[in-house]
Each structure stands twice: as structure tokens, then as C-alpha cells.
Structure 1
């Protein structure tokens, strides 16, 4: 039986044209999978590890950290027990934070499911501190995909580039600053930069500056309980509450303000009607329903917008995302073994006449296949070539971006600092 297919050369050509278009506004959305593409040596010298673990790894490390805090053992175990009671297995640390905050909203003096308001507060504070310690790190001196992204942005200033991320780390900031790419992240000041919603809304930032929007907060965002102000600081002795927002929960108005402003920036970018826009997602598996809603609604409101979601795994691993792509013609879901493009799902299959070098750093030939197994326009000779897309790996995307920046391939001797 014939399989539907997509031509990798056609797809990669469209991506190259998008990235090289002078009048196109380009946005990048970096999800939790991106730091996993950066390797650093293990502390004991036994090989390498991801600079920051994925959400499962982060959950495991925070769990181990909480186990060392005797004063919180009882409350943390009580929290964990609520998931078991609700038949929820292996909750992530973000799920635990969400539950803590949901319980705290209604705890009052009586508490919720054996947890008092004060216990929930302490759990929130210690979990956020643990996350901060784990994800506080510096990019290695060697070239990384973050540096490649910064190099690309440096050469693509008109119009400016917007970066959206759900990650709490500051790896993007490090790369942009190392490559001297000016950017605005919603904060103003020097000693203790404060969140300035008016500066965001007025949009009077220099056009050559990129924009960085951290949708779930950051390890250096803090909330001053007395002034109810949000500011950016690395000083632990400030003693204020860390603003890490893994969900849309209805926090106190001043706490939740940055979250909704950042989501609004994503909507505004995709809905822009004065110029064409393209958003490239990487490391994001569509696990946040509210972000998904913002993306899909905005794409429907602006038919000229294009969104390319680059996935690390196979198409079958992203059922929810595939359903969204099948319902939205301007959302292209590009996975390892296949894609949903213009609502059409199919495997990657290259024409026999395709020059493999044109697919460099984006696709790899996997096997030869009988042309009778694919539909229609894969022309003679009698075989086609099944491919896999590698751009779902942030490192490979970095190599792809370096092609446009003229710096060669990541890790190669031609990459400029």
C-alpha cells in the first residue's frame, strides 16, 4: 500500500528562503529540550552530560534535594501522596509546583489535604531554590547552538528577531551578550532592573534590538512582597520570592503580570498584520495547553503567518501536536521520520535525483525504497530514498543556522567566536 510522503528538499528550501528573507520577521521558540543539546564534562571526569537535564531529570534531582531537607520531609511526602491518591504517576516537578500553588490559593487556615498554607509556602520556596541551583550554569567556551542562534540574529537585524522560551535558565542571555547582540527582556535598570510593562507596550525599543520573552519566568526574576514589584537580580541575599511560573494559575495580580504579558507578546508577534512573520519552534513538544492555544489562535487570526515546529522524535510521538497541525495549514510539524505540512501527514522521501549535499545538516538518507510504496510524484528511476530530519536536534539546527551566518558547522575549525 502506498504511503503519503513529503519531499525534504522542498521543505528545506522553504526553510532557507524563510531564514534569508530580508522583510520577514523571524521568531524562535526554545523549549525544554534545547539545553540537552549542550554537553559538558561530568564533575567526576566520567564522560559528558547535558548542561541542564530535561524535565524528568530535573524532577529527579529536585526530588533528591528535597529528601535532604529534614524539616520538609513530612510536607513533601504529603504532597507526593496526593498524586498517588489521584492515580497520577511520576508527576514532574512543574506539576508539583502547580499543585502547591493551586492548594495554596484555597488553603486558608484549615489547609488542604493535610498541608497548611505555611507548609505549601515553604515547599514552593525550597523547590524554586532547588531548581535555581540546578539550572544556574554557564555555557562552555566551545561553540554551542545558542552561540549559533546569536550569530544568526546578529546578521539578521532588519526587522528585529524575537525569542520566546519556556526555560528558566539564562543560557540565551549568555549567548546574546557574548556575541554582543543587544536585546530587551522587559526589564529596565542596572543595579536592580525592574519589570516595565509600559516599555513593552509602548514598543519604542531600538529596532536593531532583539526581544527576549521568558514565558515561564526565570531563575533571576524576583518578587518583592512589600512593594509588589517584579525585578531581576542574581543576589540570593535579596531574600525575595523567585518568579518561576510553570502554569497560568491565578496568582496574585502582581505576580502573574509578567506571565500574561509574555504570552501576549507571543500572540502579538504571530498576529502582526503589517509584515509577514515566521516562528520556528525547537525543543518544544506542545505540552503546555495555554501556549498551544495562544499559538493556534494567533495562526488562525493571521493566515500569512508561518510556524515550523521542529521535533526531536518520531511523528507518532506527538499525537496532540499532529492534531493541531492537521487543523491549521500554517503550522508545519516536522519530525524525525515524517511531517504534517499543510494539514497533510506523510513520511520523508527524497527524489532519486536529489543532490544529497543540498540536505546537509537538515536531513539524512536512511534507506532506499521501492518507488511503488510512495504516492504519485516521486519520479523515475524506480527507487526513492527514505530520509529522516535531524533539525529537531537543537545542535543540528545550530549548524543549519551557521550556514546562513557564514561560520561553517558547529564544532568545526571554521566556526568563528
Structure 2
């Protein structure tokens, strides 16, 4: 009777949608090691959270840069006590409450400030003048800059692992896309002596050169870095209408941070749309197959989602792997897009959508768990079926549910070390 029950349950489990973790891991390894494949990485807001630094209190640690919720909290604390902006900031928040939009994050605030500013004129909008909106924009951007201006700790972070992989990759140049304003990836690339081009040319006050980007006559050994939402060291000069990269502010400068694709004047919006075009151009590259690996991105930006999906549809040979930190149900936009696009795969810890099929991670009972190399971990062994204990023989024959861990940027960094040949200092008895 026990054998019959076991076989019936085994048959039912085989009918459920499942994905083989080893098979998917093998595909990722082949993708990352291919020497005729163009590889891109897309780093979202979740990536800095994987880098931990000590708390100011000396107890415990914290992310080097908080997520959007944490960033909003810090900016709110600063602006709420600003003599210059406190009143207008309170009025701005009231507009969200009046519209039933709850508590906005910092990107929603900037979007609203800029949309109001476009039509404010001399009378203002909803009790906020043009000058007040302009001041709020500057204060919030400066507050963001203060929070995200930091240095990577040591030389062993996921950013360094990515930089080492890029520096050792034999294929054509790697392209890195990011929605983050920080300069952590730049620090890691420079620390690993990996040359890159980010759209700016010059030394004292590098200027944004659209022609250099479009001509594409950059040394092939240089990687490309495209910052889709701007950066804490990008500045727009209102007098010259030019975009520069600099840590120092000059008269007429304002920080160029774009949380969305809002309609700015041509000079301000130029970098944003050029960067989006780079993402489209990478995925639509028809001369060789391409693969884009996303990490830390929640698919919350409709404009970027559209650029990715349209490009994947235009190039059937392109592949996109989205590595998510949370469970699959936390990313409804990603689920919808992956259901409609066979070359977009979404890997979450509990489930995945691969070739439009949604299924849980289940390892074969015969698999050597060591082959998963930390990218997956066995969640549990099935010891009961229908409330009845299985024999040890049958336990060994049952599939094993797994959990994918590569959505954690730290784990992805460890995985990339496998390809760059990096050996952790601790394995050599060295302490950093």
C-alpha cells in the first residue's frame, strides 16, 4: 500500500510545473563563459543593499546605500527641517494626500515637482510657486547626493566581483546599465583597472558627448557604462545648457537626476533618452547573440520595461535573465512580461518563469547538490506523503525543492568569481 501511495504522489508531483535548477545553472554558466556572446548587466536599486557597512552606532551593520524606502526616509528627515523648503515640502505632501496617493517615495516626489514646475508659470500650482518647486528640486537632489555619496569598503564586494568578471571576459566589451545614482560600479571598475566609457569626454570637467556614443568608435577593450537615471556627479548648467560630469558645482549648475522619463527640455532629457537607446541598441544587436542579466531590478519602471520587451521581441536571439531577490509573486510586472515573452526568464528564489512556463525549483533526486555551487540550495527533503512517513529508500527517490539565491547581488558576485578566477583571500589565509 505504501508503494502504491508513493507512486501516485510521485505521478502527481511530476504533473506540476517544475524547473530543473542544474539545467538553468548550466545555461547561465554557458552564457557567461561564451566567447562570442555579448553580455550586459543591469543593476537595479537592490544591488547596493548587498554591500554591508558598520552602523554609525558601532552596533550591527546596514546597507551601504538604503533601498528607495530607506532613501525616502532619510531625505524626508532632512527636508522636513529645512528652513528654506519646510513649508513648500509640507504643501507638496498634502497634494499626495488630497489625491489619495498615500505616502510617496522620493522618485514620485521628484516626478510631481517637475510636472508641476512645467505648468507653474507666475501663479504656481496647488499653492506652490515656481521658485518653491525649483528650490524643492534642488534640495531633494542634494539630499539624495549626500546619502548615496560613499566609498566601497575594501576590495572584496559584489561590485568588485562584477568588475573582475568584466576585466577577464574574453568576449566583446561588456555593457553595464544601471538605474542607480551612486558611483559604486565606477569605483569597482577603476579599482580593478577596467577601462570603461560612460558617455563623457574630457578630464577637468568631462562633458557629455552624444556623437562619441553614436559613432561607437571606442576601443573594443573598453566596457560601456550607461546610467539611465543620471548620477550624483552629473550636472546641468542652466546658462550653457551643457551636461558635465563633476564632483564640484559651479554657478548655474544643478544635479542631473532623472527618476523617470518625464518631458524635460531637450538639453536635460538628452542623456536620459540616449541611455535608453543604448539599452535598446544592445538588445537589438543582430550581428551576434546577446544576453542581459538583471539584478536588483523590480520591474517598476514602465519605460524601461517597454524598452526591454520591445527589443527582445525585435531580436529573437537575445536572452534576458532577471534574478530577483524576493519571491516571484512580489514582482507582478515581471511575471506578466515573462509570460508574454519567451526570451525573458525571471528567476526568483521560490519559482521561475522560463519560456513562458511558471514552475517551482525542484532538483532531481540523483543530482549532486555540490554541483549547484551556492547558486541554489536544497530547501528540504520530502519525508512524508499524505501524512505518512516514507521509507529511507523512497525519501532518496523523491525530488528535492530548491531555493535560488542569485537574486542576492552578493551571491551573484560569488558566482561570477567562478569565471574571473578570483580566489577569496580567506581561502589563502589572508585577512583583508
- Please say whether Structure 1 and Structure 2 have the same fold, judged by a TM-score greater than 0.5: yes
Corresponding position of 2:380: 367
Counterpart check, 1:388 vs 2:412 = no
> Are the counterparts in 2 of residues 407 and 414 from structure 1 also a CA contact under 8 Å?
no
Structure 2 counterpart of 1:17, from 15, 24, 30? 30
Distance in structure 1 (CA, Å) of the matches to 2:426 and 2:248? 34
Q: Secondary structure at the match of 1:87?
A: coil
Distance in 1 (CA, whole Å) between partners of 2:61 and 2:76 is 22
How many residue pairs end up in the alignment? 412
Range 164-173 or range 230-239, more displaced: 230-239
Aligned to 2:257: 244
Task: Quote the residue 1:399 is aligned against.
Answer: 414
**Does residue 37 in structure 1 map to residue 50 in structure 2?**
yes
SS at match of 1:112: coil
Distance 1:88 1:154 in 2: 45
**Which whole-Å CA distance do the structure 2 matches of 1:386 and 1:8 have between them?**
10
The question of whether the paired residues in 2 share the 8 Å contact of 1:312 and 1:392 is answered with yes
What secondary structure does 2:243 align onto? strand
Q: Which runs of 4+ in 1 moved over 4 A?
A: 370-373, 409-417
What is the Cα deviation at residue 361 of structure 1?
2.2
Is residue 34–residue 171 contact of structure 2 (8 Å, CA) maintained in 1? no
Q: 2:94 pairs with 78, 81, 84, which one? A: 81
SS at match of 2:366: coil
Q: Classify 1:331/1:58 alpha carbon distance in 2 versus 1 (closer, same or farther; 3 Å).
A: same
Distance across 2 between alignment mates of 1:237 and 1:225: 11
The change in CA–CA distance for 1:225 and 1:416 in structure 2 (over 3 A counts) is: farther
Gaps of 5+ in 1: 374-378
**Once the 2 structures are TM-superposed, how far is the Cα of residue 49 of structure 1 from its aligned partner?**
0.7
Any residues of structure 2 matched to 1:170-249 within 5 Å, and which? 170-237=183-250, 240-249=253-262
Establish whether residue 91 from structure 1 lines up as the match of residue 125 from structure 2.
no
- Structure 2 alignment gaps of length 5 or more: 1-11, 387-393
**1:133 and 2:152 correspond:** no
How much does 1:371 deviate? 11
Corresponding residue number in structure 1 for 2:335? 322
Task: Tell me, yes or no, if the aligned pair for 1:408 and 1:414 is still in contact at 8 Å.
Answer: no
In the alignment, the residues of structure 1 paired with residue 283 and residue 431 of structure 2 have an alpha-carbon distance, to the nearest angstrom, of 32
Does structure 2 retain, via aligned residues, the 8 Å contact 1:399–1:409? Answer: no
Q: C-alpha distance in 2, partners of 1:327/1:415?
A: 49
CA positional deviation for 1:236: 3.4
Change (3 A) 1:99 1:255: same
Aligned match of 1:350: 363
Query: Counterpart of 1:307 in 2: which secondary structure?
Result: strand
Task: Verify the 8 A CA contact 1:145 1:410 in the aligned structure 2.
Answer: no
